[in-house]
Amino acid sequence: MKKLLYITILLLFILTFSCGQNSAEKKLNGMWYETKDPKIFWIFHPDYIEFIDEDNEKVEWSATESKIEFIYRTYIWDSLGKTIHTEDEILIEYKLSENEDTLSGTLTNSYGKHKFGLIKTE
């Protein structure tokens, strides 16, 4: 009976810590704006990124000390005017400034590689 209790506690412990953020993700939490278009804001929440632009999209994300990854859903129209849903895998290879308030690097999506930067507002 004690073994069952220990196993249950261990599973709860693992589940609790596996759902948390790693240190790289915690550094990114908060509001950032794009260096190329300061009207576009990225808000990193523990569970999702919220984009404040004309679409106001939310996506799940993950990060390491040098990469941010997520899938961005887009909608395009075909020649008949039908909406087609697509998913674009986004990879941002980045470096944070010493103060951890500026992020710069490259964003790779289905259109290629692009210089990319964010500045933290909070």
CATH number of the domain that residue 71 is part of = 2.40.128
Q: What pLDDT sits at residue 77?
A: 85
47-85: pLDDT as tens digits: 999 999 877 889 999 999 999 999 998 888 888 889 888
Q: Which domain holds residue 69?
A: 22-120
Report, as an integer, the average pLDDT of 84-100. 95
Which two three-digit tokens encode residue 38? Answer: 């300061």
State the total domains in the chain. Answer: 1
Identify which has the larger pLDDT, 2 or 5: 2
The reply to whether 52 falls in a domain is yes
Q: Are 26 and 17 in contact (CB under 8 A)?
A: no
Only one residue has tokens 């990879």, namely 91
Q: Are 113 and 103 in contact (CB under 8 A)?
A: no
Return the minimum-mean-pLDDT range out of 4-8, 68-72, 78-82, 100-104: 4-8
Q: What pLDDT sits at residue 34?
A: 96
